[in-house]
Each structure stands twice: as C-alpha cells, then as structure tokens.
Structure 1
C-alpha cells in the first residue's frame, strides 16, 4: 500500500502532537495543582508569604495527593479544634500529617480517648510524633494507661503531652526511675505531680548522668537537702540547670558592686534563689542572640536586671531590635538600656529623637549610648528645651524644682569600688564568670 505525502505529513503531525503533550501536560497539571493547593492552604490560614517555600520543600503533596484529599485532611485537623498557631506549626514541622488515611485512623482513635481531657495542643503534638514514628492510636491508648497507673492524671497528663509528647515513647522503667529520684530527695507524690506539671521536660533527663550530679553540685555548694527540695517544688526549672551553671552564677553574684538596697533585694529569697534568677536572665539574653560571656557581662554591669521580670527584658530587646533597629550586641556596650524605665525613659527619648530626625533638626546620628546614658536634665537641655513642641512627648520639668542627686546619702555600701581588683584572688573571681561554658 502506497502512503501519500499528505498522509505521511498528517501521521507525523499526530505523532509529534502526542509526544509534545505527553511531555508538557504533566508540567501544566502540576502547576495547576500547585496553584489550587496554594489557594486552599491560604483559605485555611496558611501565611501567603511562606507558601512558595513550603510547596517547594514538599513536592510530594503535588505528586501523590490531590487537592480534594488534602482538603479533607485539613477539615479533619480542624475538627480537633487545634489553635491556629499550632495548626500552622504542625503543617510546617510535619507536612506528612496531611495523609488522609493516617488522619482518618486517628479521627476514630481520638473519639475513643476524648474523655481523657487531652487539650487540642496535646493532640497536635501527638499527631506529629505519631506520624514520624508510626504510632497508632491503640498503642497510644496503651501508653496513656501506663501513665495513668503511674499517677499522670488530669491536668498533669495534658501538660506533659503539650510540652514533652515524647513521654509516650518512653519505657515504664525510665519513668519509674525519674519518680524514684524525686521520692529519694523527699518529694511527696503530690509534689512530684507539681514538678511534672511545672517542668515536664525533666522527664527527658537522665538520672545517673544529669540529675544526680546536679544534686551533688548543689550539696557541695553548701545547700541542704531540705532547701534543695523546697526550691525544686517552688520552681522545678531548677532542674534544668547545667552542671557547673549554679557555681558560675554564684561567682557572678560575689563580684557584684551595687547599692546595698539592690543587693538586699537580690538575696531576699536566699542565695540559691538568687543564683537561679541569674540563670533565668542569662538564658533570656542568650535566647535573643547573645553568647554566655556577653550575657554575664551585661548582668555584671547592670545588676538591676536580676530583679526585673524576664518578660520586661524581652520587651525592651524587642523594641531595641525591631523598632529602634539596633543590633542586640550593642547591649554589651550599653547595658544601661535594659536597666532604664521603658515608659518613662526609653520611649520618650526615642520619640523625641525620631521626631527631630524627621524634621531634619539633627545633623548627626544619636547612638544608643547618647540616647540612654545622659541624665534626664542633660537630655532635656540638649534635645527638648530648644524645641518646645517636644516637651509634650518628653514631659517638662516642674518650674523651680531642684535636681537631686541620683542616690541619697548612705545608699552605697561602705567599701569603695575599685576600677581593678586589688588581689589576685579578686581578679580570678571577676574573670571566672566571664569564661564561656565548656
């Protein structure tokens, strides 16, 4: 049979078209799926700015799932009443949780233990852990039964699942060892419940290599077992201290040079509590991006921080970085910023300087040191008095009011602070807490 040239051309066109669409169509289909999935996630509260990176990292959502299945999965997750921040965090940390078969199985399982009173956040953590380690609802129920037999009831169980969900993977012997350690230092069953409720993360600490050496360190520092027990019950985060950390915090306190009333307040609840308060402030500063050496240096220069609430320190650092646009490292040179009153000193001075800068009245840059360190009167004379419109945002001095000294007579301790330590022992004490943790 003879094939005409027209037939050959038609056949070639069909073959070419088939080959073209077979290679391009999947890409078009994937692109459409990506758009549909992005719109779906956005409707469920997913941040639009992070959609592209999320989908790029999780191509499996486009390859083996369709939008309808993912929508069903999202609906199941929402039926658990998971808070929006935890819901978004769950998708980020464990996108595989969107597997519809997995969620349908857990939807049935959660209905079985709904009377346990587990919070939505706890359920969220359990889902993420179960998906990663292939834990089914029946195994989870079995582990919960073990925990209840050991005394994890009501709010304690919920709190632990919110903060330390890995407890469902722990062996019963390990849990009994933690309980036995706390009983061994004289903490009652009710006290142990309080410890696990306040600091569930202690369940992940090794008794032989972490908790017992920490207890020995406290005893070597001269603290009695009764005091240690009372402090643990009062704030179980004491057990989060690293080995050697309490010694270093107490070393800082011994080298402080501050007014007597401040020192009295720091030690008002005892030396142990004072050392722990130092640890909390150091952790706060390190969380903001500083290293341990810098954090200890800031506390040494500005001891009042030991008396301030951690939330207040975080508020000031957030304003410094996100509003004033300074690097957190500048606190090492100007620790007085954290000791200043936010509403009466930091905010008014910042507003004055920003107003003058916007009006072109400043021919130089006012650094953090120039903003914080001048006295109220000096700052007023430099930046406010020449510009009456700034007095409202700064607050003017009462006419005829005398400017008093910063501290009344007798407020300082009897010793005269030295620029340098006088003895080799003092030098070593001053430097010891500046060394980085090993």
Structure 2
C-alpha cells in the first residue's frame, strides 16, 4: 500500500511538472487552477465569476460557464473597469456586453494599457467616435490583436496600396476584419492576380475599398474565378469585370444556384440568366427576396413579360420603395386618363434620372393631371418614413 501511494505521488508530481513546462492551453488552465489553489477558494472564485458574468455583464448561463473556464476573478473591479472603459468611449451597454461575450478575456485586461491604445490609433487616423464604436462592435476580436504586430502593419498595407489614409479608413469602416488577417496571404496575391489579368489599378482599388471581403478568398480559387469571368466574355479593362468577380466570390455555390433557380421560376432560361449577368453582374448579387419581390412587381403588378427584365437587368436593382412604387403611382394616374400607352418603356419610367422623370411624366401633364406632383411626393415621403421606422 505504501509503495502504491508513493507511486501515485511521483506520478502526480511528474504530471504537474509536465503541465507547467508545456505551453498552457485553455483546456489545461482549469486543471492547473484547481491543483495549485485550494479547492474551496477556486470553487468560490468560479461561482463568483459565473454569477458576475450573468448578472452584471449580460452573459447567458451557458456563455458564463464557458467563459469561466478561461478566466477567474474574486472581485468585480477588473470586469467593471472594462465596462466603464467602453461606456466612457461611447459604447452602449448592449454593445459592450456583445463585445465581452465574444471576447471574454477582455474582462481581465488592463483598459489603459491594452484597450485604449487601439482606440487612440483609430482616432489618429481620422476615425470619429461613432466610427470607432462601429469598427469594434462589428469585429470585437480586434481588441485582442496586437496593435504593433497586427493592426498597424495591416493598416499600413492598405494605406500603401491606396496611397490614402482616408480611403484605408473607409475600407476598415466597411469591413473591419481586414485588420485581423495577414494581407500578404490572400489580399496581396489576389491584387496581383487582377493586375496580371489587365484590371486597371483604379478598378482594383474601387473593388478593394467597397468590397474588401472579395479579396479574402484563397488565391487558387480566386484565380479560377478570374478565368471563369474571362471565359464569359468580360473585359478586364471595364468596371463590370471586378463586379463579376465580386459576385462570384461573394457567395457559396449553393447560394449561386438558388438565385439561378429564382430567375428560372420567372421563366428565364439559362441563356437569359447569363445574358443578364454579362449586362449587369449585380443581378446575381441581389438577395433572393429582392429578386423575387422586384420580378413579382414587374410581372404581376405591371403585367410585363419577364423576358423584358432579362434584357434590362439593371431594373432589378432599383428600389421598390424609393423609386419603382412612387413612379408607378404616377403611371397609374396617367394610364387611367389615357395620357400614356400601357406599354410605355420601363427604361424611360424607371431608369431615367429624377429630373428627367419629373419633366416627362409629371410636369409634362400639369394641366391634365395637376395632382401628380403631390401624389408622387407623398409616395416618396412615405417610403422615407418606412425606412426611418425600419
């Protein structure tokens, strides 16, 4: 028996030595904590941590239990100081809760040493307080990344390409995850692939600024997409080329196929779909709901052939609330009075500028239909109020 106890004691010592010498992992930390500290004290700390995360930090019970595996505190000072820090810099309680739930380790960080320098960096680059709040809230992991080794080098990469801090900051605001990846792995390679294909730098810069996530694709896959876009007949020197690339990199194969099926439901053939895509690649970027709602309006509400829309795919991207419905309200009045033909051009109705539409379809019929301007403005205002409520 004595021999067995001695053996177990040696084994335990060896295991602790091995664990302490190895790089600690999140899985090993709870074991070390329970071994190195009295069980009662550890249990109390764990219980307090879970309770505080739930009651003061907005964590669910499950999230609190998960977070408590990696951090322990016996008093609320540290997590409270982190909450106070975010609050003092314009973050709402719900935003702070979301950030700390996503990155619970932040709750035991030193706000002045670890968090503040990152906010100050963004301020120094021209970001406003609301900008910084949006950047961090949309990508909380930024607050865990090294300022010197990750955030600044990534920012400088984009600044060197754009030759503009303002444009770089605009890119970060649109997709803040660009700062947590190594741009030399995917972004740089994909920029080079576009340049080699003959895409002008100005078009590359526009795509990178407006849709940076399109460059986060594996280089081999990105080059395959470029080859496909070329085979479709897109000219690399034109702006439609990077838009087509954006469309094909921005969705999974299953999503792409669902959108094709959506158009087929309106009677489009595959030739119709590819023709529309080559004319306006945006037609494959719009959501399925947007596609279905717009096609339903033109076909069922206005009684137009769906093939007409395939020839003018730009129409699909127009806003139903802000443009199509207000303008159609004018059309209905003119039709009821026999002032225009029922087959009036969709291009003239919906693709013309605001000024051209008013001159031709509103001001041109002041005597016959003096109520048109008020009707049109009322519909436009209603769409604005609906957006405000949303």
**TM-score normalised according to structure 2 size:** 0.50
- Work out which structure has the larger RCO, using CA pairs closer than 8 Å and 6 or more positions apart in sequence: 1
**TM-score normalised according to structure 1 size:** 0.45
Which protein has the larger Cα radius of gyration, Structure 1 or Structure 2?
1
